[in-house]
Structure 1
Amino acid sequence: MSSITDDIASMSAWVAKALESSGYRADFSIESLNDIDRFIDDNSVNGVANPGGILAEGLGKKLFALGAYVGETLRHRHGGTWQADDSDPAGEINATLVLPDGGHIWPIQRVINRFKRGDEESIAVYGLMVGN
């Protein structure tokens, strides 16, 4: 059985390939976070997946993967280590990226909030704010 932190690494790579194959930029650059916002906007409205769309099935897994991608993008840029409690039923949602300066961020929670609340939870803006 893999750990949550192992799942973060594998799922971020998986979703990057899936996004690229669908025409989204997913090269783990800060600029690619704009395409995470665009992907969510293209595939949902007001916190509801488009019927028959990419997010219509396996929503939780896909939001986790998108959050893992966001976190890995930020980790590549700023450094840091993932912390997650494999015994916590909500461990995947609560996975924390601890930055070198001691700051803690929750990219998976941010992606879930972006899906639910829309533009006010912009992933691109989040990416620019982390580490500054």
Structure 2
Amino acid sequence: MATLKNDILKYSDWIVKAFKEDGLTLDYSINSLMEIDKFVQMHTKDGQPVKGRRLSKNLGGIIFSLGAYIGETLIKNVPNSKWITDDNDPQGEINIAVELGDGTTCWPGQRMMKRIQNGLEDGIYPYGHSLTEKTLNEKFNQSFWEIEKDIKPLEPKKPWWKF
């Protein structure tokens, strides 16, 4: 029986491969979290998945995979960070948490849900940047502020029989 930690590693790697097929690069850097914001911007509108697009099917699994990637990114960038999971929690996939080296705890899966519902005001890149700012001392990538202007939700796919 797989544990949440095993699933986290498996699905974090899966989402990296899935994004690559869409031409988006996830490389476990804090800056790569912006790719998640771009992806969500393309596939949601008004806090809901666009029908016929990537998030319209298996939303829970994709949120888990993205949360796993966000957490793994934080762990790889902040020394002495670790996953906190509870395989007995019926909502364990939503409640996966990361304890950062300084003792801060965050819930990347829950943040993903907020990102989808609330838009860029709950952006993943600013979230990751603020959690790692003291450790990495990286300058905030100002191109984040262009996402809303540059990326519009994709139109729903038409069934093949409708021309």
Q: Shared topology, TM-score over 0.5?
A: yes
Structure 1 counterpart of 2:3, one-letter code: S
- Determine if the alignment matches structure 1 residue 65 to structure 2 residue 65: yes
TM-score (norm 1): 0.96
Partner of 2:30: 30
Runs of 4+ in 1 over 2 A off after TM superposition: none
CA distance in 1, matches of 2:55, 2:20: 16
Describe how 1:1-132 pairs up with structure 2 within 5 A.
1-79=1-79, 80-131=81-132, 132=134
Unaligned runs of 5+ in 2: 135-163
Alignment partner of 2:54: what SS? coil
Output the amino acid matched with 1:75: I
**Superposed displacement of residue 61, structure 1:** 0.3
Which protein is bigger by CA-based radius of gyration? 2
Give the match's secondary structure for 2:98: strand
Q: What count of residue pairs does the alignment treat as equivalent?
A: 132
**Deviation of the 1:55 alpha carbon:** 0.9
Amino acid at match of 1:115: I
Three-state SS of the structure 2 residue aligned to 1:130 is helix
Q: Deviation digits for residues 79-132 of structure 1, max 9, x if unmatched?
A: 311011111111111111011111111111111110111111010101110033
Give the unaligned 5+ runs of structure 1.
none
RMSD: 0.9
TM-score normalized by the length of structure 2? 0.78
